[in-house]
């Protein structure tokens, strides 16, 4: 059984992991799914969920422009800090945050919508998720950004199941990942897939949602490794191997993007 194999894999590894696997509306496996981990860039999904609620009250928000300053240019993942363009529509920031967890874009959104308002909303709507600081910046009070496998699964489920312009942008970003994901190493299918990977210090997190004919197969794995990152990546590969060897997943063919179709000859 998948539970026995994953339990054994986690027990034998030197990895502290919070893992949650769902298939459609069914929970297939959970281990420390409510354990709190440092969020790294995954906290941006919660930030986007808050902004989507604000957008529901004012659809003009997506066209609002935010200015990049020298102070907002931080290191780490993303492209905005390295580009000369200073003014960005909020819709572009949302896409960059979803697609690559752009740190500067995330911080611009935090500053626009207020860190305390976002954190309060996350506590009420996604227990286990909290926003304690901006990305690549320290909190003077020692607060950190935190998530659980359950909270990430819930916010991802919302974005994948909600049909509106804002969520379309988020899904577009999540479907345009270029990084290699260890969990999907043994996936030999051509599923439409939404993914996110984030890392900080000795923490490495991967989220993959494969859109199958029977509904989404979603894997959330939050991990902390002790020594070598390679051991953590191998662990995640083995998690994926167990899943794809034990679960029958009928394929759902990818649909061509209508925006791309216009330029085909």
- All structural domains of the chain: 2-248 (3.40.710.10)
- pLDDT single digits (tens) 4-44: 999 999 999 989 999 999 999 899 999 999 999 999 999 99
Alpha helices in 13-114 (DSSP H): 43-57, 90-100, 103-113
Q: Of 141 and 248, which is predicted with more confidence? A: 248
| Secondary structure element (H or E) that encloses residue 30, with its range | strand 26-31
Write out the two tokens for 186: 């043994």
CA torsion sign for 211, 216, 222, 225 is: negative
Q: Can you count the helices (H) and strands (E) in the chain? A: 9, 9
- pLDDT single digits (tens) 116-156: 999 999 999 999 999 999 876 666 567 899 999 999 999 99
Dist CA 133 CA 75 (whole Å): 15
The residues pairing with 23 across neighbouring beta strands, listed in sequence order, are 26, 217
CA dihedral angle for residue 127, residue 23, residue 169, residue 198, rounded to 10 degrees: 60
Please report the pLDDT score of residue 138 as a whole number.
62
- pTM for this one? 0.89
């Amino acid at each position: 059984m998948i539970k026995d194999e994953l339990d054994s894999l986690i027990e034998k590894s030197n990895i502290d992991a919070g893992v949650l696997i769902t298939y459609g509306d069914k929970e297939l496996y959970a281990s420390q799914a409510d354990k709190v981990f440092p969020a790294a860039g995954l906290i941006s999904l919660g930030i986007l969920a808050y902004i989507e609620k604000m957008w529901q009250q004012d659809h003009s928000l997506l066209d609002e422009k935010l200015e990049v300053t020298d102070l907002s240019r931080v290191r780490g993942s993303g492209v905005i800090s390295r580009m000369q363009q200073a003014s960005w529509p909020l819709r572009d920031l949302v896409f960059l945050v979803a697609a690559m967890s752009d740190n500067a874009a995330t911080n611009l959104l935090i500053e626009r919508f207020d860190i305390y308002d976002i954190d309060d909303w996350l506590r009420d709507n996604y227990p286990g998720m909290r926003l304690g600081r901006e990305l690549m910046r320290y909190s003077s009070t020692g607060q950190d950004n935190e998530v659980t496998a359950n909270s990430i699964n819930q916010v991802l489920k919302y974005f994948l199941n909600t049909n509106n312009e804002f969520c379309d942008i988020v899904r577009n970003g999540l479907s345009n990942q270029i990084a290699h994901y260890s969990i999907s190493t043994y996936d030999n299918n051509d599923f439409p897939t939404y993914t996110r990977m984030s890392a900080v210090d000795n923490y490495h997190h991967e989220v993959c949602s494969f859109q199958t004919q029977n509904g989404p197969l979603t894997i959330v794995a939050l991990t902390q490794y002790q020594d070598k990152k390679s051991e953590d990546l191998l662990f995640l590969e083995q998690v994926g191997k167990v899943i794809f060897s034990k679960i029958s997943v009928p394929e759902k063919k990818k649909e061509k993007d209508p925006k791309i179709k216009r330029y085909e000859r």
